[in-house]
Amino acid sequence: MDRRTLLKSSGAILGGLTLSGLINRAQAATPANAAVISFPTEKNPLLLNFNENSLGMSAQAKQAVVDCLPTAFRYPDAARAELIEQIAAHFGLKSENITLGNGSSETIQAAVQAIVLQAQQQQKKVQVIVPDPTFNYAELYAKPLGAEIVKVPLNAKLEFDLATMQAKAAGFAGKSIVYLCNPNNPTATITPAATMDSWIKSAPADTFFIVDEAYAEFVNDPAFKSAIGLVQSGQKNLIVTRTFSKIFALAGLRIGYGIAAPEVIAQVENFVSLDNTNTAGAVAALASLKDKTFVAMSRKSIDLSRQIVTSMLDELNLEYVPSQANFIFHKVNGDVKTYQDRMKQQNIYVGREFPPAVGWNRLTLGTPQEMQVFVSVLKSFSAKGWV
């Protein structure tokens, strides 16, 4: 499809969406400093494959980075300490409840290593229980340490089978690390607090939970409740990981953190790099925490992008999972790799397949304008029988 045909079809498609006034709302929802994409090219493709925030960081965060450059030859200890204090204050906790990571992935890695070491010191076997599919870093970090990986398939609704996961933990003679990504990646589904909290509260001492809340700030469903509340109430068998990569759009600056009881943080800190935070990332994260307007704008932009995409998926009768994150898990009628390759020919990068959920594709939600371009291409694919 050439550029002229795409732009013409885009207007026709958007005019037919069931949601009235989406174009005007899309324009109104985009910050002035956001990148505008009219048509993807080979040099400037549309990247909808890594769950990044296409709005880019807030103007205040950008300015904070610029302002810190004259003193960036100094070590970042002061900025790092202030960030820990501000995160703790944000959640009504103490600095002892916080660990910083090079992205939340480092925190996940450190937590896995800490519990595996504890199991080794107690001469106990250790297993890592994960839903399947889910974000796979916990299992990747655990494998080289000799931990057994236990994968529990999602249920028919593509939600966690907590009953089976709980049975796997209960039947194991050793330590169990349970990884729960909430909302889950790649499905964008949540696990209601009422279900998850009861297991964490009643779990035996040899069961430890890593609750990954990378996408928590995007959730609209009132059934969701952050596991940080369990830490606030004194629960000691979990760590909650979060990141500045998603709603705050600082993916390239690598700032994540963990929240847990002080005893847990002390264990995890043994495996965290002493110099894992750079000055630019720290000051950008501090500015982002204070920029409530940007967070609200980021949520509004994703909500609108989600509406644009789901309206088209409904029109094309393509099945999808209701999303509580900045991506959508949707069905493709045909081979997902072929679909990816065809999108790439249009300079659009979409996510991969996540076995055992065969036939499903994870689509990152970019800006509303970007999703207008995407749905026009998707409809053209449908007309050709490609999706």
Exposure string for 245-268, b = 16+ CB within 10 A, e = fewer: bbbbbbbebbbbbbbbbeebbebb
Length of the chain measured in residues: 387
The verdict on 244 and 326 lying in the same domain is no
Which pLDDT tens digits describe the chain residue by residue (387 residues)? Answer: 433 333 344 444 444 444 445 545 545 545 555 544 458 999 999 999 999 999 999 999 999 999 999 999 999 999 999 999 999 999 999 999 999 999 999 999 999 999 999 999 999 999 999 999 999 999 999 999 999 999 999 999 999 999 999 999 999 999 999 999 999 999 999 999 999 999 999 999 999 999 999 999 999 999 999 999 999 999 999 999 999 999 999 999 999 999 999 999 999 999 999 889 999 999 999 999 999 999 999 999 999 999 999 999 999 999 999 999 999 999 999 999 999 999 999 999 999 999 999 999 999 999 999 999 999 999 999 999 999
CATH of the domain at 18: 3.90.1150.10
The verdict on 173 and 234 lying in the same domain is yes
As for how many domains the chain has, the answer is 2
The verdict on 91 and 217 lying in the same domain is yes
Q: What is the pLDDT of residue 274?
A: 87
The verdict on 112 and 37 lying in the same domain is no
Cβ within 8 Å of residue 331, ≥6 positions away = 318, 319, 320, 359, 360, 361
Query: What are the Cα distances from residue 6, in Å, to 15, 271, 287, 377, 378?
Result: 14, 51, 39, 7, 11
The verdict on 371 and 353 lying in the same domain is yes
The verdict on 144 and 202 lying in the same domain is yes
The verdict on 94 and 112 lying in the same domain is yes
The verdict on 263 and 340 lying in the same domain is no
Note whether 343 and 350 are within 8 A (CB). yes
ω before 192 within 30° of 0 (cis)? no
Q: What is the pLDDT of residue 32?
A: 53
Q: What is the pLDDT of residue 275?
A: 87
The verdict on 19 and 93 lying in the same domain is no
Residue 338, CB-side half-sphere exposure with 13 Å CA sphere: 9
Closest by CA to 216, choosing from 260, 237, 246, 186, is 246
> Domain limits at 233?
59-290
The verdict on 321 and 285 lying in the same domain is no
pTM of the full predicted structure?
A: 0.90
CATH of the domain at 107: 3.40.640.10
Q: What is the pLDDT of residue 39?
A: 81
The verdict on 42 and 149 lying in the same domain is no
Of 245, 265, 290, which one is at a domain's C-terminal end? 290
The verdict on 25 and 41 lying in the same domain is yes
Of 230, 255, 290, which one is at a domain's C-terminal end? 290
Q: What is the pLDDT of residue 38?
A: 58
Angle between helices 368-383 and 292-315 (to 10 degrees): 10
Q: What is the pLDDT of residue 17?
A: 43
Of 290, 312, 346, which one is at a domain's C-terminal end? 290
Place of tokens 């504890």: 118
